[in-house]
């Protein structure tokens, strides 16, 4: 097998500059996940090759099979002929195999074999993490994408102060991607994420205040009731639009930098925001919106329910460092 070069920090978002035209959507993250899937296939083949080489077995011979030791809830989903991969805090990666009589052999270190092929343990772990969650994550993203146009609407004349922090974070992110010095890149990316988080928290607070104003009917204390209602609804729409874009841009940045648990945390935070601040009040807000009826409660409920599983996916890849990889058959039918 030839050498495989794994390039760190490969850009995943198709065209970050396009985000400036306020067309950023969850499809950017969806495309990044699909791109990552294509990149991981040859890397996983390299892992299989390393395991076979260290095990000292020809795939045509009988004897041991690469399998997995798993907990009860996964046993039914796993066939024989799989690899159990374990990484530790020291950056070592091991594979285990089981013989036909069911006894497990010793841990086989495969780090050196991977290094010879130009592959880091970090790159392998990232690919394995994505393998664990990819199918379910793609379902989540697909479900959100299908209703995106119902909950996002670029508001004309948005206040510059509301957009400032978001665009500051976006600018820093775009600049960071062009920097060669890795330490400087990390610093700038960190600043970008902070700016996006600040934008996110400020918009959530402003949205919360406007929702409370409408739900408690404080507008009844004024003479211009209709104008006050429209004003607050406009603030809610504008703030939500920025919260949405900031959350998913953060998720995309984390994904691009290989921080999968943080990506899932960002998605989970967005889901909890919708669950706590939007779903309970969607019906009332819809009644008050005389121009564009506020999005129906069912759509918001779908969003929060869909993102509940992000926390579960995060637990899958943070509770331990053991992953499972099926040995594929090649074109000649060999394992």
Q: Each residue of 58-111: pLDDT tens digit? A: 334 444 333 333 334 333 333 334 666 777 767 678 777 655 555 556 777 877
How far, in Å, CA of 60 to CA of 335, rounded? 7
Residue 137's nearest CA partner among 41, 263, 273 is 263
Residue 260's nearest CA partner among 99, 64, 128, 77 is 128
Question: Can you give the pTM of this predicted structure?
Answer: 0.74
Strands of the 108-109 sheet, one edge to the other: 108-109, 93-96, 82-87, 322-326
Domains of the chain, residue spans: 24-125+320-326, 151-318
Both structure tokens of 259: 């921080």
DSSP 325: E
Both structure tokens of 199: 């934008």
Residue 52's nearest CA partner among 36, 39, 64, 70 is 64
**Please, are residues 310 and 262 in contact by the beta-carbon 8 Å criterion?**
no
Q: Which run of H or E residues covers position 214?
A: helix 182-215
Q: Each residue of 204-262: pLDDT tens digit? A: 999 999 999 999 999 999 889 999 999 998 888 888 888 888 898 999 899 888 898 99
DSSP 65: B
Q: Among residues of the chain, what percentage have pLDDT more than 90?
A: 20
Q: Each residue of 256-298: pLDDT tens digit? A: 888 989 999 999 999 999 999 988 988 888 888 877 677 777 7
How far, in Å, CA of 85 to CA of 134, rounded? 18
Annotate 234-284 with three-state secondary structure. Answer: HHHHHHHHHHHHHHHHHHHHHHHCCCHHHHHHHHHHHHHHHHHHHHHHHHH
């Amino acid at each position: 097998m030839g050498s495989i070069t794994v390039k760190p920090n490969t850009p995943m978002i198709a065209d970050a500059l396009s985000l400036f035209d306020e067309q950023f959507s969850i499809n950017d993250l969806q495309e990044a996940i699909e791109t990552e899937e294509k990149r991981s296939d040859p890397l996983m083949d390299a892992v299989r090759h390393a395991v076979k080489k260290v095990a000292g077995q020809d795939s045509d011979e009988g004897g041991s099979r690469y399998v997995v030791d798993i907990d009860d809830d996964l046993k039914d989903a796993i066939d024989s002929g799989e690899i159990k991969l374990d990484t530790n805090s020291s950056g070592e990666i091991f594979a285990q195999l089981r013989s036909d009589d069911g006894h497990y052999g010793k841990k086989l270190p495969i780090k050196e074999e991977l290094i010879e092929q130009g592959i880091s343990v970090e790159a392998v772990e990232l690919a394995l993490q994505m393998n664990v969650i990819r199918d379910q994550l793609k379902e989540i993203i697909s479900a959100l994408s299908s209703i995106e146009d119902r909950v996002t609407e670029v508001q004309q004349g948005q206040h510059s102060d509301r957009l400032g922090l978001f665009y500051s974070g976006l600018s820093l992110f775009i600049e960071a991607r062009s920097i060669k010095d890795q330490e400087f890149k990390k610093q700038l990316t960190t600043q970008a994420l902070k700016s996006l988080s600040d934008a996110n928290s400020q918009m959530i607070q402003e949205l919360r205040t406007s929702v409370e104003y409408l739900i408690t009917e404080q507008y009844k204390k004024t003479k211009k009731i209709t104008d006050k209602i429209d004003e607050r609804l406009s603030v809610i729409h504008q703030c939500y639009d920025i919260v949405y874009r900031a959350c998913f841009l953060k998720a995309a940045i984390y994904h691009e930098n290989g921080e999968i648990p943080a990506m899932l945390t960002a998605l989970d935070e967005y889901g909890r925001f919708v669950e706590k601040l939007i779903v309970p009040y969607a019906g009332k807000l819809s009644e008050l919106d005389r121009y564009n009826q506020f999005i129906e409660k069912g759509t918001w409920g779908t969003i929060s329910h869909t993102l509940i599983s992000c926390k579960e996916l995060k637990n899958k890849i943070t509770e331990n460092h053991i992953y499972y990889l099926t040995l594929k058959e090649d074109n000649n039918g060999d394992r």
